[in-house]
């Protein structure tokens, strides 16, 4: 056979080799594990980015879900949730640990930073009502049953605290 014929002969090409033996399956399992770890790492990065980007959207959605009427919640539960959201909004937007502070400490901190006096007064009224209701200094029998007209005003005060909504 000439050298030219040997170069164009396709019978010398071998077909695919079958997977045989435990080492081949081990390689496939390692590859699948690597793909799984890469997918988990990408998912984690995506979740971390979402947590940084959208705290305002999450807080706005939680506040909207609570609503001014509270969805059937009693006053005590409503004000616990509302003040929790207010503290989270202050922490997200103003950058101080409001979730770990008392209402007096928050108001003092806002006074020191030169916050809008009307905003601070609204927050003071909200916190005073919430403490009176949540910690039973209010008159007996009203903490879980009455629908207070102040809920709408307090909800509107909380709504003005959403990140990016202040003037």
Q: What is the DSSP string of 111-156?
A: HHTT--HHHHHHHHHHHHHHHHHHTT-SPTT-TTT---THHHHHHH
CA distance 110 to 96: 10
Per residue in 13-40, pLDDT (tens digit) is 777 776 666 677 788 888 999 999 999 9
DSSP 18: P
Mean residue pLDDT across the chain: 77
Which two tokens mark 1?
């056979």
pTM of the model: 0.60
Per residue in 99-122, pLDDT (tens digit) is 788 888 888 888 887 777 788 888
Angle between helices 117-134 and 75-94 (to 10 degrees): 140
pLDDT recorded at residue 92: 79
């Amino acid at each position: 056979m000439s050298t030219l014929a040997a170069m164009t002969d396709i019978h010398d090409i071998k077909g695919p080799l079958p997977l045989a033996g435990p080492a081949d399956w081990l390689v496939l399992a390692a590859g699948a594990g690597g793909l799984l770890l890469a997918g988990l790492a990408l998912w984690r990065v995506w979740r971390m980015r979402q947590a940084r980007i959208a705290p305002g959207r999450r807080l706005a959605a939680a506040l909207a879900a609570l609503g001014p009427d509270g969805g059937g919640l009693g006053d005590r539960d409503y004000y616990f949730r509302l003040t929790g959201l207010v503290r989270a909004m202050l922490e997200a937007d103003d950058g101080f640990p409001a979730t770990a502070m008392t209402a007096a400490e928050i108001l003092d901190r806002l006074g020191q930073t030169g916050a809008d006096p009307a905003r601070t007064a609204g927050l003071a009224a909200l916190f005073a009502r919430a403490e009176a209701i949540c910690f039973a200094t209010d008159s007996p029998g009203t903490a879980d049953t009455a629908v207070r007209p102040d809920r709408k005003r307090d909800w509107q005060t909380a709504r003005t605290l959403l990140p990016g909504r202040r003037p």
